[in-house]
Amino acid sequence: MTPRIKALLKHILEKQHAALRHDVAWTLSERFSREGVSPERRAAEGLRAMLAAEQPAFLPGERIAFLRTVKQIPDLFTPAEMEALRGTAFYAEKGCVFNISPDYATTIREGLDARRAEIEARLRRADAERDDAAVAFLTAALSGVDAVLELAERYRAAAHAQGLTEIADLLARVPRQGATTLHEALQFLRILHYTLWCEGEYHNGLGRFDQYMWPYYQADLAAGRLTADAALELIEEFFLSCNRDSDLYIGVQQGDNGQSLMLGGVDRDGKDAFNDLSRLCLKASCELAVIDPKINLRVTSNTPLEVLEAGTELTRQGLGFPQYANDDVVIPALVRHGYALEDARDYTVAACWEFIIPGCGMDIPNIGAVSFPAVVDRALRSSRAASFEAFMTDVRAALMAEADRLAASFATVKILPGPFVSILCEGRVAAGRDVCEGNRYNNFGIHGTGLSTAVDSLAVIRRLVFEELALDLRALAAAVDSDFAGQPELLAKARFGVPKMGNADASVDQLGKTLLDAFADTWEGRKNGRGGIYRCGTGSAMYYIWHANELRATPDGRLTGQPFAANYAPSLNVPVKGPVSIIESFTVPDLGRVINGGPLTIEIHDSAFRERDGITKVAQLVKYFIDRGGHQLQINAINRDQLRDAQAHPESHRNLIVRVWGWSGYFIELDKPYQDHIIQRVELAVS
């Protein structure tokens, strides 16, 4: 890391740049409501107002500009209007475009002047055809392009006035013209990514960064304009730019901002795409040790161990990434779900882990979630089964009923317009339609939460009710309702007397396969109202807290108030043999059927990396997961004593990073329930 990057890193970690921010008391939504302004015009005027309020500002020594100076993004609809809209259709989360990975490459290559000319030509045609919808969208898109160009010109003029010649010269070319160097391409990407947040979209992934930046890196090296070390410095600065404003991009928790970046994998022709730029990105992330961008690494059974070791270096830093995605499983599964092979090969992730196709997808990959423990609980209370097989039939029926209920709630799904993000999405300008109306892929993702709690509960029901005949379903339901009060023997038996998922016990692991197969079956063949399908997944997102809070105790001995495991992992506080047994258990199911994503999450005590061969052992663990047919994996290096000390003395642990569910954040910035959950996760040794 160069002294310049060290100084920038220090400046950002200390949040010195926050002094450049100011508040704006926006009243746009009230005016829009009074005047009955259309959604497209609201989006256009909102972005224009936001960018006009921004004030050019520069950090000491920076070479890639653009900094958020306005704290608040304007609301475009009043609360009453949003309530009325939600009364007519389902609007996911904030209602706008989110969890998307646009096609940055085309605009970076062509420049905004060329894209502007394309929009103008299409607008003239729409006028001639009297296509009012196209005119509204294209007019809004044109307004957005002009607003970006105006801000870029103000930045250029300010840089020139302050003697920042390099930045001024850079902005004299981009974003108007297409980038010709890596430096120009990174500056262009910074402007585009920044603009999407200002338009109101959030969880904007950076996609396959090492693929669309590769031509610029190659050209610079060939022309002698750049060395690998100089490129590393530029990449590190771009990565730092993702951390300048990330505290303003808050999801469920601070750090949940969706700034994910994908490396490696194969290209659209199926050829290995891991390159020297991929390596530089891994090195940059390792040296900086900050939460953004969140690194994802595509791998296969043929990925060299040294690449996995390079990824494991990030794990050793305690970053909670890279998150690994197995092309051997993901690509064929996406094809089986209706994605074209070339698109499936080009997959990236949305905010956390959900697999999406960059540029041409408008999937909503986290539209809802099924609580497996709640489904088992319903069957426990309603079933009159005389055998465990009959009980499982009732569980499947409960899963189907839950799928029916959720699907009905998604009968009509709408998204608010995003004119600027639309021009970064394939085919939208040509079609004359906003991406909010859909794109090539319009699939919905359904999370499945608390799998291990449900499987462990089923194992208890099978053993105690149907094999040992120790009690019947009604009695077990009563015990659950009382939090096992006055029944310590039953509680101990439920917790420790029945095998649990994560210990490579075939009879229990088959229950996991059966439950996930049944989950997939209940959504198989369903079409959503936007022309897409439903994809099941093994991720939990924040529902591992929310769904657990909605449910009392469970038959596995989990008590009221105790959360589920995050994502795809053993239940909290369940004794497991080790990470190998966890991998063996959690690769038994057919993971290609639940390909919405959701990583197997393993916590390893940070002492594993104090051994000389610790990196190699953890990398071999990753390879074992891949070879076993796992789909997605994240490994976290944690130290429970350090986490407890951080709760007690947060001022001493300001930069302590942890993996939460599908993203990494600063531990002290998390709400206590999320902190407590991370502390409760089982620390494992690697032998």
Q: Are residues 272 and 375 in the same domain?
A: no
557 and 603: one domain?
no
Residue with tokens 């995050």: 566
CB-based contact 456:556 (threshold 8 Å)? yes
Confidence of residue 331 (pLDDT cuts 50, 70, 90): very high
- Predicted confidence band of residue 610 (pLDDT cuts 50, 70, 90): confident
Q: Does residue 399 fall inside a structural domain?
A: yes
Distance CA(602)–CA(354), nearest Å, equals: 18
- 575 upstream amide cis, omega within 30 of 0: no
What pLDDT, in 10s, does the model give residues 491-500?
Answer: 999 999 999 9
- The pLDDT score that the predictor gives to residue 683 is 60
447 within a domain of the structure (yes/no) = yes
Q: Is the pLDDT of residue 674 over 90?
A: no
Assigned domain for 215 exists: no
Tell me, what's the pLDDT at 661? 75
Residue at which a domain ends, from 584, 611, 636: 584
Q: Which letter, b or e, does each residue of 171-189 get, where b requires 16 or more Cβ atoms within 10 Å of its Cβ?
A: bebbbbebbbbbbbbbbbb
The answer to whether residue 484 sits within a structural domain is yes
Looking at every residue in the chain, the average pLDDT score rounds to 95
Spell out the residues 6+ positions from residue 344 whose beta carbon is closer than 8 angstroms to its own: 330, 331, 332, 334, 335, 357
Tokens at 12, concatenated:
């950002």
The DSSP call for residue 207 is B
- Do 652 and 548 sit in the same domain of this protein? no
- Residue 656 pLDDT: 86
Percent of the residues in the chain that have a pLDDT greater than 90, as a whole number: 86
Contact residues for 603 (Cβ-Cβ < 8 A; gap 6+):
635, 636, 638, 681, 682, 683, 684
Count the domains in the chain: 3
Instruction: Report the distance separating Cα 590 and Cα 585, nearest Å.
Output: 12
Is residue 140 assigned to a domain? Answer: yes
Return the SS3 of 608.
Answer: helix
Q: Are residues 467 and 403 in the same domain?
A: yes
User: Is 223 within the bounds of a domain?
Assistant: no
pLDDT tens for 123-133 read: 999 999 999 99
What is the pLDDT, as a whole number, of residue 684? 59
Judge contact between 595 and 628, C-beta under 8 A. Answer: no
Q: 288-308, pLDDT tens digit by residue? A: 999 999 999 999 999 999 999
Mean predicted confidence (pLDDT) in 202-216: 96
Q: 53-92, pLDDT tens digit by residue?
A: 999 999 999 999 999 999 999 999 999 999 999 999 999 9
Q: Please tell me whether residues 425 and 396 are part of one structural domain.
A: yes
Do residues 569 and 661 share a domain?
no
Top-confidence residue, 662 or 130: 130
Same domain, 420 and 563: yes
Report whether 441 contacts 359 (CB < 8 A). Answer: no
SS3 485: coil
- Angle between helical axes of 614-627 and 579-586 (0-180°, round to 10): 20
Residues of the domain holding 87: 1-204
Asked if 340 and 386 sit in the same domain, the reply is no
Amino acid residing at 139: T
Asked if residue 299 and residue 280 are part of one domain, the reply reads: yes
Contact 307, 620 (CB under 8 A): no
Per-residue pLDDT of 357-405, as tens digits, reads: 999 999 999 999 999 999 999 999 999 999 999 999 999 999 999 999 9
pLDDT band at 678 (very low <50, low <70, confident <90, very high): confident
147-161, 198-212, 247-261: segment of lowest average pLDDT: 247-261
The pLDDT assigned to 687 comes to 59
Q: Does the pLDDT value for residue 334 go beyond 80?
A: yes
Q: Which residues contact 228 (CB under 8 A, 6 or more apart)?
A: 221, 276, 280
pLDDT for res 676: 85
State whether 485 and 575 are in the same domain.
yes
489 — pLDDT class (breaks 50, 70, 90) = very high
Whether residues 645 and 676 fall in one domain:
yes
Please indicate, yes or no, whether residues 514 and 371 belong to a single structural domain of this protein. yes
The whole-number pLDDT of residue 664 equals: 84
DSSP H/E element including 368: strand 364-371
For residue 141, is it within any domain?
yes
Residue 685, pLDDT score: 60
- Last-in-domain residue among 184, 204, 224: 204
Output 251 or 126, whichever has higher pLDDT: 126
Q: Is residue 227 part of a domain?
A: no
Provide the pLDDT confidence category of residue 256 given band limits of 50, 70 and 90.
confident
